[in-house]
Amino acid sequence: MYNHNPKPGSIPQNGYPFICHKIPFVWTGNPLDKPFIWKNTPFICLSSFGFTLVELIVTITIVGILSALAAPGLTTIVANQRISSQANDLLSDLAFSRSEAIKRSSGVTVCKTADPNAATPDCNATAATAWTAGRIVFIDNDADGVRDAGDEILRIRQELEGTTPNGNQLLGDGNAAGTANRITFIGTGATNLASGTEYQLTLCDKRGDSLGMAVAIHPLGRARVVARGKNADGTAITVCP
């Protein structure tokens, strides 16, 4: 669109678009001052930067050495954290079972299971078998430690993380009156365990006894995590493979 009829006294536009009545600075030939990126070569182009092959090899070597030094410490931290987490999960299951038993005035059992992924997982009654494969928490109406038809499963725990032939294990104390297969809570919050001593479940990994962790269960139902490497009675753990 062109303006050929300027108002009296205005500057002729010579056919230029009316939007250029006052010439915008972007339309002038050269700006009064060039942008800073025009004044000189931008700083990113002042010279070429980069690594030489020697510098790259030295850097990779240093990173490799530092990684090798840090790896053992990191592995230990991960293993310790795994056992601590598994101990806390077990403690949580025991506290949950006791709470449900009191709330329902009924038996609630925590037991090991051979297949936690089965449609209806049952307790594993083989005393020599570790709790490694998993465990279940269920309402045990007759408090006999056996999941009968109609006994509701409240919680299922999967196989212990990192389990291998020499990996993490969860061991009972090995006798039928203790925690070899199960811990059953009754409506008062007490357990099926014989009075007079604390029983325990022991978590181990391939590093051995000194880094194992025990979860102690008192016959009256209280449970606690014991210091690393110690049994409930304060003696050193000696059952880890």
Whether the predicted pLDDT of 16 surpasses 70: no
Cα 167 to Cα 95, 130, 132, 163, distances in angstroms: 26, 12, 10, 5
pLDDT given for residue 22 in this prediction: 55
Round to whole Å and give the CA distance between 178 and 91: 17
Beta-carbon contacts of 206 under 8 Å, excluding residues fewer than 6 positions away, are 164, 166, 167, 241
- Residue 26 carries which DSSP code? G
Q: Where are the alpha helices (DSSP H) in 123-211?
A: none
Quick: pLDDT tens for 103-113: 999 999 999 99
Q: What's the predicted TM-score (pTM) here?
A: 0.70
Closest CA to 82 of 164, 158, 202, 162: 162
**Domain regions of the chain by residue span:** 53-225
Strand locations in 68-186, DSSP E?
108-112, 135-139, 153-157, 169-171, 182-185
pLDDT given for residue 223 in this prediction: 96
Query: How does strand 153-157 pair with strand 182-185?
Result: unpaired
pLDDT given for residue 26 in this prediction: 53
Q: Domain 53-225: which topology?
A: minor pseudopilin epsh fold (3.55.40)
pLDDT given for residue 29 in this prediction: 54
Quick: pLDDT tens for 52-88: 888 888 888 888 888 777 666 678 888 889 999 999 9
